[in-house]
Structure 1
């Protein structure tokens, strides 16, 4: 509040009292929201500047346009271009290893990754291809609220479409989407692996790139524990939900706390780069 006084009818100066604790708390919350918005905008602009310096092949641009038009990803065009740019840069740099997506929903981001990488480089896509597993004790209330909505059958897809977790035979649907967009799994060395991450994610060789979209704590942590040690120098993890869900953020913070050889870079999504063996 302003500390300037107001003149009353008597001519006396009425001085407003100090802010209450509740007033200060509200102001802090508003400032935090503004700061979060500003930080997000800075990340978006930085990422956009990086992408502006990198022209993607016309085939990749068309794939991104199709994915957006068919609503095959919760990621917007900006984020999809960022993924494609990272993949293209890794190819140009010759970073060795397979590529991974852990959590694909309707397959849109995986299709973009497959289109941007070299056709012969393997891409392994892990997902339950069903309703997302329940969160655990390490996840915050935001996560549990979201899961209650999903479990109740009340979640909605983009533009009110059927939520991906409620679709019948999502595995077959994703495979068909790859083919329909001209990025067949056979011709682009893509493997779609169905099951829980804890049962399926076991990369055996080097990893050049991984897009981690597991949402919750446990699913994110198991991917980090099994993929990050195999990440090649110069390789990159893109953590989809670090800024969105408390469980994912906590898993990343817990895993990388005090860990050497990795650099966390704030972009439109959180990027983790392997800097030393």
Structure 2
């Protein structure tokens, strides 16, 4: 469900922070089957094999999701958007096996996932799963700095919960990727309101009809 353009954007932005030695983790809030975070892990694994790669090895690939589909909507997510769409119902995107399926896909690609599923180390970086609603899991996560924050929570509430907790941890010259800005008005409203309330004026760059990204200067 992720377009070629959005996959290419991940490749370009994540590779950029790695090659430039910009510190910080990758985190995706809303991972579904884990494909985008798997791509981020593969990029990091490849880069760290290259002798010219800056030795910024203390990175973590974070996957945050309920792994059970969308949670019940809060009041901000109800109603139709400008195109007449209503938010997908609770449980959408949850019928594929959940977090255990995502872990198994990582194992198939050669990543070592411990039985508790919390930490996997491979060639100097870790993979961690945050299982639950963002408002419950993100505030207590041991994340000190973020190089790339990818927002894919669809909903106003999920997007705002992720931004409020994680955006202050995005490092200077780090990136924020927004998957749903052009598709879900609920997500767009959360981004726009966060920009206004925090006096942010960064330009949003277009990836495709829905995806956007910006650089934290």
Question: Could you give the per-residue CA deviations for residues 214-247 of structure 1, whole angstroms, max 9, x where no partner exists?
Answer: 1000100011111111111000110110111011
When Rg is computed on C-alpha atoms for both structures, the one with the higher figure is 1
User: When the two structures are superposed, what TM-score results if normalisation uses the length of structure 1?
Assistant: 0.63
Q: CA RMSD in A?
A: 2.2
What SS does structure 1 have at the residue aligned with 2:41? helix
The structure with higher relative contact order (CA 8 Å, sep 6+) is 2
1:260, distance to aligned residue in structure 2 (A): 4.2
Mapped partners of 1:98, 1:257: distance in 2: 26
1:182, distance to aligned residue in structure 2 (A): 3.4
Change in Cα spacing, 1:219 to 1:258, as seen in structure 2 (3 Å) is: closer
1:261, distance to aligned residue in structure 2 (A): 5.7
User: What is the aligned counterpart of 2:6 among 79, 85, 102?
Assistant: 79
User: When the two structures are superposed, what TM-score results if normalisation uses the length of structure 2?
Assistant: 0.79
Name structure 2 gaps, 5 residues minimum: 49-56, 114-119
Q: Contact 1:124–1:190 (CA<8 Å) still a contact in 2?
A: yes
Q: Count residues in correspondence.
A: 189
Name structure 1 gaps, 5 residues minimum: 1-73, 156-163
Mapped partners of 1:184, 1:114: distance in 2: 12
1:180, distance to aligned residue in structure 2 (A): 1.5
2:195 matched to 1:266? no
More helix by share: 1
What SS does structure 1 have at the residue aligned with 2:203? strand
Question: Could you give the per-residue CA deviations for residues 191-224 of structure 1, whole angstroms, max 9, x where no partner exists?
Answer: 0111110000135412111111010001000111
1:29 alignment partner in structure 2: none
Mapped partners of 2:73, 2:205: distance in 1: 25
